[in-house]
Every structure is written in structure tokens, then in C-alpha cells.
A = this chain, B = another copy of it.
Amino acid sequence: MPYLKNKIINDPIYGFIHIPFNIILSILDHPYFQRLRRISQLGLSSLVYPGANHNRFHHAIGSMHLMNKSIEVLRSKGHEISVQEHKAACIAILLHDIGHGPFSHALENTIVDNLTHEEISIMFMQKLNEEFDNKLSLAIEIFQNKYHKTFLHQLISSQLDVDRLDYLNRDSFYSGVNEGIINSQRIISMFNVKDQDLVVDFKGIYSIEKFIIARKLMYWQVYLHKTVLSAEHTLMKILLRAKELCQSGEKIFTTPEFKIFLYEKNAINANFFKSRKLLNLFARLDDSDLITCIKNWAHDKDEILNYLSNCILNRKLLKIKSIKKHEIEPSLKIIREKIQTSLKVSHNKTSYLVFAISIKKETYSLIENEIKFLKTNQELINLSDVQGDFNMTSRNSEIIKHYICYPDGYLN
């Protein structure tokens, strides 16, 4: 395994990534982590951006690389960070996404109940901590924001964390939407710490503005691209329909790994995970389970499952149309009636084929902890208080969009 022997991993974005600690190598080698090779980073975005086939494995390693660089910078500015803290921060960011299921988000709110990928990540970390003789304890503390050096947690999860710095560049690179490219090297070089908080040297203000705009752009142009929304919500409808069929006693195709998640009648939540030791089964799920299922469901006798699976498999996606909020219900009603008549499906099934999507996204949050700048006089100032072009204090920065999805031909 050359990248292990040399402790170097090729990355088209950063050149070479050096692995700073042996325990990182051991974690990379673990089947839990290797599974991330088979979890696509951007779900179904590759249906719009065919280059976007990168996976969580590479993103996790890239984020770890930026964590490593961040700690170098903070140390060079005189902030003490012990080897143990350094190692723990690297482990924590490496594992921050390990709880993602197939296509990153497809199972959430369809198969799995009230259980975020972060919570599953923690379950994985705890399991690994047992296997690694408690060497991950500090990493877990940092991940859960229980450690007093708050900035270490903020590097993992905040409005300006290395997760975002990596995924913006990585998603831009692979999708070819180069507007998302940011200068992570420059931003990291302006990281600083004040009162245990991660802050940014003031002269970094324009780079941070650029970062925020780049992230917004990636949201609307890639992550929430309307064709991607149509595809991802269709995938959710497929899973809901499959589960409904299984629950009502129908037999449909499933891979062995995925069986319990479809047929189980109890809610698949945190308790269920624990009581049934589901983690190891979950650890075997990846994109290929869903693809294999969908390929078979595209021939299923259930017309809904069959129809929607073909949508995804052969990229015959549901049409998606931007719509005003008050028009949603009347529009759904009209199209569903048309569908009911022409396709001869029962009314309640039409909600699988004709549905609304509402998206709410703010560019920058004033409610979460703000990005703070450190002025040369050592005072702090919030991004929203910097006089400038952003109108962060109003509701302007929140965008709400509504769409309806429906089979082609049912709306003029």
C-alpha cells in the first residue's frame, strides 16, 4: 500500500498529503474508514456535473490535511498546541463524516429516523475508541465541543471550518464549477486564536467575504441545483415507497446488507441502533447497495417503485419547476389529478410522483457563532459588524425557494 508506506497520499488539489501520525494510518486502514471510498461526496450531483464522482474518503483526508496546516499556522503565531491535541484534532476531523450513509444523505428521514450522520459518526468514533485502547478519547471530546480549547472544535465545525475549506475547493475541482474555488492557503494563514476562540486576522476580511460568496454560489449552482434537487428527492421517494411496500408485506429485491433497514417495523433511531448492534451492519452499507436495489426495482411490479427507479437509473428525471408558495397546493392538485386519470394510479400514490420541495438557505448565519476578526489593536469584531457590502443584519441573506416535481408532460 504505497501511500501508507510513504505516508503520502496523492491529491489533485493539494499535491501530496503527508500523514502526520501513525494512528492516522491505522484509522485509514480500518474497514469503517475504507467504506467511505464507496460513499459519494455529493450524492446525485454527478447527474448534472459528471465529474463530481469524488467520495467522502478523499474529503476526510483533505480536511485532515488542512487541519494539520491550520495547527502549524496557529503554532507559528505563538499558540501552544500539544502533540496530543494536534493528533486528536486530526483524528476528529478525519472521522467527522464517518457516519454518512449511501449517497451521503439519502437514508436520512427516509430509512433512518431522528438520527443525524453526526450522531452516527460519534457511535463510530466510540466503537473505534474501544478498538484503539481509548486513544480517541480526546478526539471525541473535541468533536463534541467538550474540550476547553474551543478553537480546536471550531476548526472542525463552525462557519469557517476546515471541512468547508476542503469541500468548497474539492467540489469545485471535481464538478468543474470553478467559481467555488477559494484560497484555503491564504485563509488558513490568517487563522488566529483569541480567548480560545478561532478568529481571523483582520486583513483577511476580503478573503472571508469571497469564501462566503463562493459557498453561497456552490449551494445554488451545485448542491441545490434544481435538477439535483429533483434527483435527490426522487431517490428519497424511492426509499419511502420501498419501505412502505416492505412494511405492508410485499417482497421486493434488496441486498442482504440493506434488508433490515427496509423491513424493520421499529423506528430506526439511536436506541434501535444500540439495542440491535446495527452499527456493524450500517458499516457495510454504501452507494452500491442503493444502485443495485434501484437497478432491480426498475423492473419491479409496483408501478411507482418501477417508475421512479427508472427516473434515477437512466436519468429520465422528474421535471422540476420553480413556483411561488401559494401556487404549490393548487398546482399539485391539478397535476396529481391528471396523473391519476392518465396513469390510472390511486390518488395517494400520486404524491410519490408529484410533490413539492421547499429550500431555505442562508448565506451566513447571525444566530450561529459568528466569524470573528482580530484587529491589530487586539479587539474582536464580528463579520456582520464590519461595514461593508453585506447586509447581514436583515433577512436578505436567507433565500427560500419552492419547486414542484412531476413527470414530464403533465404541465404545459
A contacts, CB < 8 Å to B? 1-3, 8-13, 15-16, 29, 31, 34, 37-38, 46-51, 53-55, 57-58, 61, 173-179, 181-183, 185-186, 189, 206-207, 209-210, 213-214, 216-217, 220-221, 225, 227, 253, 255-257, 284, 286-289, 291-292, 295-296, 313-317, 363, 387-392, 394, 396-397, 399
The CA-CA distance from A284 to B183 in the complex, in Å, is 38
Q: Which residue of B lies closest to A48 (CB)?
A: B2
The CA-CA distance from A16 to B48 in the complex, in Å, is 13
- Give the residues in chain B near A287, CB-CB below 8 Å: 288
| Contact status of A61 and B55, CB under 8 A, knowing A15-B185, A179-B206, A363-B389 | no
Q: How many copies does the complex hold?
A: 4
Question: Cβ of B177 and Cβ of A317 under 8 Å apart?
Answer: no
Among B50, B176, B186, B288, which residue has its beta carbon within 8 angstroms of that of A179?
Answer: B186
- Give the residues in chain B near A179, CB-CB below 8 Å: 182-183, 186, 206-207, 210
3 tightest A-B CB contacts, nearest first = A391-B391, A12-B176, A288-B291
- Give the residues in chain B near A220, CB-CB below 8 Å: 206
| Contact status of A16 and B186, CB under 8 A, knowing A227-B1, A295-B288 | yes
23 CB contacts below 8 A, A to B, read: A8-B189, A10-B49, A10-B50, A15-B176, A16-B189, A34-B313, A37-B46, A53-B53, A53-B55, A177-B183, A178-B181, A179-B183, A179-B210, A206-B221, A255-B295, A286-B295, A287-B288, A288-B292, A289-B292, A363-B389, A387-B396, A389-B392, A391-B396
Given A37-B46, A209-B216; 4 other pairs, CB 8 A cutoff? A11-B50, A11-B51, A15-B185, A29-B315
The CA-CA distance from A9 to B314 in the complex, in Å, is 17
- Give the residues in chain B near A214, CB-CB below 8 Å: 210
| Contact status of A217 and B227, CB under 8 A, knowing A284-B295, A288-B295 | no
- Give the residues in chain B near A34, CB-CB below 8 Å: 313-315
- Give the residues in chain B near A397, CB-CB below 8 Å: 389
Among B16, B38, B314, which residue has its beta carbon within 8 angstroms of that of A291?
Answer: B38
Question: Cβ of A253 and Cβ of B253 under 8 Å apart?
Answer: no
- Give the residues in chain B near A61, CB-CB below 8 Å: 50
Question: Cβ of A175 and Cβ of B10 under 8 Å apart?
Answer: yes
Question: Cβ of B189 and Cβ of A183 under 8 Å apart?
Answer: no
- Give the residues in chain B near A177, CB-CB below 8 Å: 10, 183
